[in-house]
Amino acid sequence: MTEVSPGLENVYIKYTALTYIDGNKGIMRYRGYDINELAEKSSFEEVSYLMLFGELPDESELQNFKNQINKNLKLPDYMKNILKELPEKADSLGILQTVLSARSSVESNYKYSEKNDMEIIPEILGNVLSIVANIYRLKSGRDIIDPVPDKNYASTFLRACFDKIDDDKINAMDSALILYMDHEIPASTTSALVTASTLSDMYSSLVSAIAALRGPLHGGAAEGAYKQFLEIKTPENVEPWFNKNIIDDKKRLIGLGHRVYRTYDPRLTSFKKYADKLSTAPDQKNILEIAKRLEALGVKTFSPKGIYTNTDFYSGIVFNAIGFPVDMFTTLFGLSRVSGILAHIIEYVEKQERLIRPRAIYNGYDRRDYKK
Ligand code: ACO
C-alpha cells in the first residue's frame, strides 16, 4: 500500500559525501573531518572550499579562492538601492532574501557546469557578505559601504559591521560560520534542492532556502533561546520561570531537543567555549549564568526522553557578545549556511540530477456533475 510520509520524515532524496551525523553518539563531520577540529584549526574559506570542491585547499588554491571572493564584495548599484529603499523595520533575513531574488532576476541563460560554479560561487559568497554587513549597518543607522578585504572572510565581515573588533571576536565569528555551514538536508537545503532540481539558477535556489530558513521552526531558535534568557532576567529567577512556563504551562524550552540528536549537539563544545570567553561584561555574565542554570534544569528534566541542549542554546550568546542584536541572529545563520547549501546543490544537480517531484494521494470528491 502507498503510504504518505508527512514532513518527508525518513525519506531519503540523495546520497551525500558532505556532512555525517551520528545523532546517538553526538558526532558531526564535514567530509570526514570532526566539526570542532575544523572550527578550531581552519578558516571559513578553507572549510567552504572543502565542502564545495572536495578537499581542503593548498595555499595557492586558498589564496585564489579568497581573491575571487574579495572581487565580489562591491555590490552592484541596484542591490544597494534595494537595501536603502526597504523600510527600516524590514526583517533582516527577509532583506537578504529580497536582494538575492533581485540578483536572480538578472541571471540569464544560467547553465549548470563546473566552470559556472567556479565563477558564481565566489560571487555569491562575496555578495552575501556585503549584503549582510550592510543590512546590519543600515539597521544601526549607518551608511552602505563596500567591505574592504581583510585577513579572512570573518574579519572582512566584522570590520564592515563594526568600527572596533578584536581577534577573539573574529575567531568566534569564524568558528560560528564553520559550525553553522551545513547540517545535511534540513528544510532550507531541501527547498534549495527542489528549486535546483528544475535546473533553475543558483540564486533562485538560494532564495528558496532562505525563505524556508525564516520560519520559527527552523532558523529562529537561537533568537528564541536568547529571548528566554532576557525574559528570565536573573539567575535566581531561572527555577521559578522554568517551573511556571515549562513544567506547569508545558511550553517547550527553546534550545533543547533535536530531530536527529538524542544527546548533546556536538557543535555546542565550540559555542560554549566562545560564550565563556567572550561574556566579560556584567550583563553578558548574567545572561550566561542564566543559560547555564536553565540548561542544567532542562537536561535534568528532559534527558530521560533523549532531549538535550542543541547548538542554538549558546550561539545567540556568542553572536551577542560579538556585538550583534537579537534580530540579526537568524541572518548570521543564513550567512553561514550559504556554502553548505551551494555544496548540496552542486552534489545533487551535477551528480544525481533528477527533478524532485513527489506525489500526493487524492482523497477529495469522486467525479461530480457540473451545476450552476
Ligand atoms: N522542551 C520540552 N520538551 C520537549 C522539547 C523541548 N524543547 N523538545 C522535545 N520535547 C519533548 C516532547 O514534548 C515530546 O514529549 P512526549 O513524548 O512526552 O510527547 C518528546 O520530547 C519528543 O518530542 P518530539 O516533538 O517528537 O521531537 P521532535 O524530534 O519532533 O522535535 C524539535 C525536535 C522540533 C527541535 C523539538 O525538540 C523542539 O521543539 N525544540 C525546541 C525548539 C528548538 O530548540 N529548535 C532548534 C532545533 S536545532 C536547530 O535548528 C539548529
**Which CATH number fits the domain that encloses residue 204?**
1.10.580.10
Residue among 312, 327, 344, 366 flagged as catalytic: 312
Q: Summarize the confidence of residues 270-285 as an average pLDDT.
A: 96
Q: In angstroms, rounded to a whole number, what is the distance separating the alpha carbons of residues 223 and 242? A: 18
3-state class (DSSP) for residue 75: coil
Q: Cell match 575571487: residue?
A: 68
Residues 225, 86 share a domain = no
Same domain, 211 and 225: no
Helices 167-179 and 312-322, axial angle in degrees (round to 10)? 150
What's the pLDDT band for 358 if we cut at 50, 70, 90? very high
Residue 340 CB coordination number (10 Å): 27
Residues 67-86 have a mean pLDDT of 97
Please give the number of the atom of ligand 1 that sits closest to the Cα of 246: 2
Q: Is the CB of 250 under 6 A from ligand 1?
A: no
Is residue 105 one of the residues assigned to a domain? Answer: yes
Q: Tell me, yes or no, whether 259 and 345 share the same domain.
A: no
CA-angle at 69, arms to 63 and 73, nearest 5°:
135
Amino acid identity, position 347: E
Closest ligand 1 atom to the C-alpha of 260? 29
Stretch 76-103: mean pLDDT: 96
Residues 274 and 172 in one domain: no
Cell numbers given for 12: 531519503
Are 134 and 73 contained in the same domain? Answer: yes
Chain-centre distance of CA 104, in angstroms? 20
Question: Closest Cα partner for 243 from 172, 286, 294?
Answer: 294
Query: What is the share, in percent, of the chain residues with pLDDT greater than 90?
Result: 88
Distance 257 CA to ligand 1 centre (A): 4
Q: How many separate helices (H) and strands (E) can be counted in the chain?
A: 16, 3
Pairing of strands 27-30, 33-34: antiparallel
Check pocket membership of 193 for ligand 1, CB cut-off 6 A. no
Give me the domain span that covers residue 40: 13-215+332-351
Residue 307 CB–ligand 1 contact under 6 Å: yes
Q: CB of 252 closer than 6 A to ligand 1?
A: yes
CATH of the domain at 277: 1.10.230.10
Tell whether 201 is covered by a domain: yes
pLDDT tens digits for range 202-218: 999 999 999 999 887 88
258 among known catalytic residues: yes
Shared domain for 38 and 176, answered yes or no, is yes
The grid coordinates listed for 206 are: 538560494
What is the best residue among 9, 248, 251, 256 to mutate for testing ligand 1's pocket, by most ligand atoms within 8 Å of CB?
A: 256
**Whether 110 and 141 share a structural domain:** yes
**213 CA to middle of ligand 1, Å?**
18
Which of 52, 96, 51 shows the shortest CA–CA distance to 75?
Answer: 96
Asked whether residue 165 falls in the same domain as residue 22, the answer is yes
Strand partners, 19: 30
Total structural domains in the chain? Answer: 2
The x, y and z cell numbers of residue 216, run together, are 520559527
> From the CB of 256, is ligand 1 less than 6 Å away?
yes
Mean pLDDT of the chain: 94
Residue 62 grid cell? 586558498
* Residue 79: per-residue pLDDT: 97
Q: Is 344 a catalytic residue?
A: no
What stretches of 34-152 show up as alpha helix (H) in DSSP?
35-41, 44-53, 59-70, 77-85, 92-105, 114-139
Q: Are residues 25 and 117 in the same domain?
A: yes
My answer on whether 288 and 339 are in the same domain is no
- C-beta of 182 in contact with ligand 1 (< 6 A): no
Query: In ligand 1, which atom is closest to the CA atom of 219?
Result: 50
Whose Cα sits closest to atom 38 in ligand 1?
A: 257
Average pLDDT over residues 32-39: 97
- Write down the pLDDT at residue 109: 57
* Same-domain pairing of 62 and 153: yes
pLDDT of residue 160: 98
Whether 135 lines ligand 1, by a CB cut-off of 6 Å, is: no
Atom number, ligand 1, closest to the C-alpha of residue 306: 21
- pLDDT at residue 219 above 90? no
Cα-to-centroid distance, 9 and ligand 1 (Å): 15
Specify the residue with its C-alpha closest to ligand 1, atom 37. Answer: 257
| Ligand 1 pocket, residue 312 CB under 6 Å | yes
Q: Residue 365: inside a domain, yes or no?
A: no
Percent of the chain with pLDDT over 70: 98
370 part of a folded domain: no
Which residue among 117, 182, 201, 258 is the active-site one? Answer: 258
Three-state SS for 110? coil
Q: Could you tell me which of 139, 82, 86 has the C-alpha nearest to residue 106?
A: 82
